[in-house]
Amino acid sequence: MADLLFRQNFFKNRLVVDFSRSLTTLRNNNLRDVLDSNRAWANSYKLREAKFFPKLAMSQKPKIFWIGCADSRVPPEMISQLGFGQLFIHRNIANQFKKEDQSCESTLEYAVHYLKVEHVIVCGHTRCGGIEHAFNENLLPYLKDWVKPIQDVYKVHKDKFKGVSHKEEFNRILVKLNVGEQIRKIAETDVVKAAWAANQPLAIHGWVYHLESGTLEDLKITIDEA
The string of DSSP codes covering 31-100 is: HHHHHHHHHHHHHHHHHH-TTHHHHHHH----SEEEEEE--TT--HHHHHT--TTSEEEEEEGGG---TT
pTM of structure: 0.88
Write down the domain spans for the chain. 2-16+61-218
69 is in an annotated binding site: yes
Query: Residue 21 carries which DSSP code?
Result: S
Please state, in angstroms and rounded to a whole number, the distance separating the CA atoms of residues 221 and 180. 7
Instruction: Output the tens digit of pLDDT for each of the chain's 226 residues.
Output: 555 455 545 444 444 555 545 576 777 778 999 999 999 999 998 999 999 999 999 999 999 999 999 999 999 999 999 999 999 999 999 999 999 999 999 999 999 999 999 999 999 999 999 999 999 999 999 999 999 999 999 999 999 999 998 999 999 999 999 999 999 999 999 999 999 999 999 999 999 999 999 999 999 999 998 6
Is beta strand 215-218 parallel, antiparallel or unpaired with respect to 203-210? antiparallel
36 is in an annotated binding site: no
What residues are annotated to the active site?
Answer: 69, 71, 73, 125, 128
How big is the CA angle at 206 (ends 204 and 207), to the nearest 5 degrees?
Answer: 135
Q: According to CATH, what is the number of the domain 2-16+61-218?
A: 3.40.1050.10
125 is in an annotated binding site: yes
104 is in an annotated binding site: no
